Structure 1
Amino acid sequence: MDKKYNLWVLSWPIFIELLLQFLLGTVDTLMVSRVSDDAVAVVGFANQLFAALTTLFTIVASGAGILIAQKLGARKEEDARTISVIAVKATFGIGLLLSIVLMAMPRTIALALQMPESLLPLADTYISIVGGGMLLTALMTTLSTVIRNTGNTKAPMVTAIGMNVVHIVLNYGFIYGAFGLPQWGLTGVALSTLVSRLLATLLLFYMFIYAFERKMWLPDLKLWHRGLFREVMNIGWPLGVNMASWVFSQLVIYVFLNMLGPKELAARTYMNSLESFCFLLGFSLALAGQIKAAYLYGEGRMREVSQTAFRMMLAGQIVVIVNALIIFIFGRQLLGFFTDDPEIIALGASLLGLNLLLQPGKMLNMGLGDTLNAVGDTRFVMKISLFSMWIVSVGISYVLGVELGWGLIGIYVCMIADEYLRGALCLWRWRSKKWARGVNPGPAAPGTGAAAEA
């Protein structure tokens, strides 16, 4: 099991999976840019909306993932297995509700979020089709999280590869009318996203059946345990609030960008793709560190938990700084792949230097924040996030970016300050060792645990 939960063994498949998910979004952006910059703005805006709504089911999925790794570390296999079933059932219900709402009210939602009137017809199409598949997104998120936290990071990676291949082929077909498919533009891109996610969900569910030592059977879908669900929510609700705080703060910032104009919105969408690529390996290390730290915490190996955190942070800082330098040097040329509008390229290029400052702070915050979450200190991370995101990242962004006219640069300065403030507070918390209070004493005897007792 130690070999299975090795930091590098965990992180490289996560990196491949995230890279391919990033490529999914980048291919969307690149291909949609061939339709129009307005279509790109709609996709970027809608994806922020979807990210905000996913927090409603990641409350359960994230809490379940951490708890599964902890239970496996404590040798409570049946508890981990029961938690996985609970998570899938709970997120299925949430995802179904979101799908119904987004299919029924795309125009109302777009208007409420200040979408420019010229973009509303495109928003109707994209939000209703892709949003109608939120049930699939909910299941994909939960199944991937469960499988990944058992130490099997390769299965979600394989799924991501298949999903990307299908998505790229269908995107090309629908946008350019290839392979006998109709030339449906943004509608085709939305349908391509929906089909690729459906196939990925089916594959992940098959893998989920064999995720634990004891195979899942149809009667297992009835599994429920009030005590374990309470444990999931105790860890999950602060995680959910934290994630919701971040995605809704980003959504509000996109509203500010709407106020600045369509070109600023498109430039931010393109830069978001470059930044995501820059941070991929760092994010992979942070997720791998979280899984390993949760497993070690379940075993009661506290010294190794700390070693994992700082080893992950050192490696993460090196890779994100190198990647940020590459983006800084070649950023203008990379932006040229997305658009030939000189004003949009100039707006994006003006942010490349700030990205060099942003990425190390993001790694500090993400790496230590995820590790604190892994050991159950989710409420502290939630509290500092609520304060910093809404006061610094959103509040001061509005003052500098909109009121004082600094535009995108003012908004980026506040994003940088937010990352470093949260990162510094997480570092202080980790070094204080307050997270170690009430530590799990170590593994239980085989066959014990809440699920076994039930």
Structure 2
Amino acid sequence: MKPMGGKSGLWMLAWPIFIEIFLQTLLGTVDTIMVSRISDDAVAVVGISNQLFGALITLFTTFAGGAGILIAQRLGSGRNEEARTIAIMGVTVSTILGVAFSVSLFLYADPVARMLHISRELIPLSHVYLTYVGGGLFMVGMTASLGSAIRNTGNTRGPMYTGVAVNVIHILLNYILIFGMFGLPEMGLSGIAVSTMISRLIGVAVLLYMFSSAFERRIRLPDFRTFHRKLFAEIVRISWPLGLNSSSWVLSQLVIYSFLAMLGAKELAARTYLNTLESFCFTLGYAIAMAGQIQIAYLFGAKQTQEAYRAAYRTLYIGLAIVSANVLLLYLFGRSLLGFFTADPEIVAIGVSLLALNLLLQPCKMLNMAMGNSLNAIGDTRYTMVVSMISMTLIGVGGSYWLGISSGWGLLGIYCCMIADEAARGGLVLLRWRKRKVLSQAESQFAGRQQGVREKPGVACSVEL
């Protein structure tokens, strides 16, 4: 793994992550449009099913994310074998979790559909989608863990190329199978399920090949039986706060969307369209934050605590500059962009009235993401979990209901609370980083080990001989 210091290292890590996420978002939009060609019922089934899948995938990405942080730290400290072992266990556990949920969805698709309150007339469609797409969900877990391990070795291009190829294959197969091209029968929603399974399988195969040679010693199939209790406990220790953090965010967003539904269909539609535009606006900032996390974890593992401390601010400043420029463009051209989604003047007016608030919301999100990821990179995941859960519950959810629903501020009140939530979390994680608590502890431990080595010259001499 090459050293990851300075701006060039950050950009080299960030741009492939950006390309991967941007094209996934773009192709996901195209995918939704193609589903809409089947029927509105198909869109409804896919939409609500993907909400469930997203919540389950959080479990996979959480464990994989924790393992990824430790991989970068171990590589930074030169402990390549430990990094290799952590990567193997991360992939194994994510796969086991994925298989358990996949089997459950495959066997109990109809009860799950009823639990999601899918109407009776949509049960046949949901059965197809939940059974086959949900049944292959374990491949998403494998993709997440393999991609995370590979990225945290410094190779962000490999997962990017794979992700782009898989999404393109998925779109092409969708077109062929949904509409029955080249003499094939029209498969409708079943075609989407088959397309998803095939494209995911191809992605897993490519990433497995890439993963096998990601470390100095090649990874072979028998190696997946590897289990190291101490390292596994370390992965769990750093991962479970990330998991609660991510789960809390998913839950808070679902609750806030339920508040939006209470306001009315037009408000919900306006927020949905704005969310799509905001996603494109924030993509590069998110990639910078993810790249910063990898870089800081590597530097922290290499005991370069001063450089790790400065790297967080470099990530923040670059991210803020990019996100601020993007959100300014969104503010200037937002009315025209909303016109691509809807011709309803009332929905456009609601969306336009919120564009100015994005000038505050997106930079606050960047502050929270950059500094929160920096704390996660050095293992301070419990603090970010506690701050996030309290802020999202009291300010994000509680404030949104109070201002948006009870006080009658509507969507404006909900947006104000979203800004306050992001600003509060961002300010607290920034304050935590400035105090350097974990970094100072690491420096003291490192100094103690150095002092211990100096006090044992005989050992040093024997090593040199």
Are the counterparts in 2 of residues 49 and 251 from structure 1 also a CA contact under 8 Å?
Answer: no
Among residues 421, 436, 442, which one is paired with 1:433 in the alignment? 436
Letter in 1 for 2:381: T
CA-atom RMSD, angstroms? 2.8
Aligned length: 445
Deviations 1:270-304 (A, max 9, x none): 33322111111101110110001000001111110
Within a 5 Å distance, the mapping from 1:57-206 to structure 2 comes to 57-113=60-116, 123-206=126-209
* Aligned counterpart, 1:238: 241
Q: Which deviates the most, 65-74 or 109-118?
A: 109-118
How far apart in 1 are the matches of 2:41 and 2:343? 14
User: What secondary structure, in the 3-state scheme, does the structure 2 residue paired with 1:351 have?
Assistant: helix
Looking at CA atoms only, which structure, 1 or 2, has the larger radius of gyration?
2
* Aligned counterpart, 1:387: 390
Q: What is the CA-CA distance between 1:383 and the residue it aligns to?
A: 0.4
Q: What is the CA-CA distance between 1:221 and the residue it aligns to?
A: 1.5
Q: Which deviates the most, 362-371 or 326-335?
A: 326-335
Change (3 A) 1:418 1:194: farther
How far apart in 2 are the matches of 1:37 and 1:332? 26
Q: What is the CA-CA distance between 1:317 and the residue it aligns to?
A: 0.6
* Aligned counterpart, 1:449: none
Letter in 2 for 1:207: M
Q: What is the CA-CA distance between 1:36 and the residue it aligns to?
A: 5.4
* Aligned counterpart, 2:458: none
Among residues 351, 354, 357, which one is paired with 1:351 in the alignment? 354
Change (3 A) 1:36 1:316: farther
How far apart in 2 are the matches of 1:253 and 1:110? 22
How far apart in 1 are the matches of 2:74 and 2:429? 25
Change (3 A) 1:110 1:379: same
* Aligned counterpart, 1:24: 27
Letter in 1 for 2:196: T
Change (3 A) 1:11 1:97: same
Q: Which deviates the most, 335-344 or 234-243?
A: 335-344
Change (3 A) 1:219 1:186: closer
Are the counterparts in 1 of residues 396 and 418 from structure 2 also a CA contact under 8 Å?
Answer: yes
How far apart in 1 are the matches of 2:158 and 2:63? 21
User: What secondary structure, in the 3-state scheme, does the structure 2 residue paired with 1:150 have?
Assistant: coil
How far apart in 2 are the matches of 1:69 and 1:31? 39
Q: What is the CA-CA distance between 1:154 and the residue it aligns to?
A: 0.7
Are the counterparts in 2 of residues 102 and 128 from structure 1 also a CA contact under 8 Å?
Answer: yes
Are the counterparts in 2 of residues 29 and 338 from structure 1 also a CA contact under 8 Å?
Answer: no
Higher RCO structure, 1 or 2 (CA under 8 Å, sep 6+): 1
User: What secondary structure, in the 3-state scheme, does the structure 2 residue paired with 1:102 have?
Assistant: helix
How far apart in 1 are the matches of 2:35 and 2:412? 26
How far apart in 2 are the matches of 1:365 and 1:116? 39
* 1:400 pairs with 2:403: yes
Are the counterparts in 2 of residues 384 and 422 from structure 1 also a CA contact under 8 Å?
Answer: yes
Q: Which deviates the most, 137-146 or 10-19?
A: 10-19
TM-score using structure 1 length: 0.89
Q: Which deviates the most, 406-415 or 295-304?
A: 406-415
Among residues 246, 249, 253, which one is paired with 1:250 in the alignment? 253
Deviations 1:85-136 (A, max 9, x none): 1111111111111112333444544554556778766555444443222201
Among residues 393, 398, 416, which one is paired with 1:413 in the alignment? 416
User: What secondary structure, in the 3-state scheme, does the structure 2 residue paired with 1:211 have?
Assistant: coil
Are the counterparts in 1 of residues 4 and 299 from structure 2 also a CA contact under 8 Å?
Answer: no
